[in-house]
């Protein structure tokens, strides 16, 4: 009997990741986010919360928050197509606050 060589672990790792992923609207959106918005947007905007159909998106800058906000209707349509249902009805964008920044002059 011949022994087979090592098999790629990629399929097993993907299956494990899928089984550990949260079964929530936010988890579903996070899984398809980069596909729906594109790699450039995904590098600067991350879905971080969801409640009552409103998706909270944390952006790296005010410019990206504005861009995501302007693209909102298109992003919602793309998310619906990727998820197979309209799970998100609105976006709320915010920016990250730099560490140590108090906002005081």
**pLDDT tens digits, one per residue of 7-16:** 788 877 777 7
- Residue whose token pair is 């899984």: 31
Distance CA 13, CA 4 (A): 20
At 75 the pLDDT is 98
DSSP-derived 3-state class of residue 78: helix
- Residue whose token pair is 């494990």: 16
Domains and CATH numbers, the chain: 23-95 (3.30.300)
At 7 the pLDDT is 77
Question: Would you say 103 and 94 are in contact if contact means Cβ atoms under 8 Å apart?
Answer: no
End-to-end CA distance of the chain: 75
More confident residue, 56 or 9: 56
At 8 the pLDDT is 82
């Amino acid at each position: 009997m011949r022994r087979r060589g090592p098999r790629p672990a990629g399929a097993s790792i993907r299956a494990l990741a899928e089984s550990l992923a949260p079964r929530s609207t936010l988890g579903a959106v996070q899984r398809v986010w980069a596909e729906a918005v594109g790699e450039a947007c995904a590098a600067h905007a991350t879905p971080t919360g969801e409640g009552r159909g409103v998706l909270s998106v944390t952006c790296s800058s005010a410019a990206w928050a504005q861009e995501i906000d302007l693209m909102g209707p298109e992003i919602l349509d793309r998310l619906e197509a990727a998820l197979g249902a309209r799970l998100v009805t609105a976006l709320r964008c915010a920016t990250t606050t730099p560490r140590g920044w108090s906002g005081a002059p």
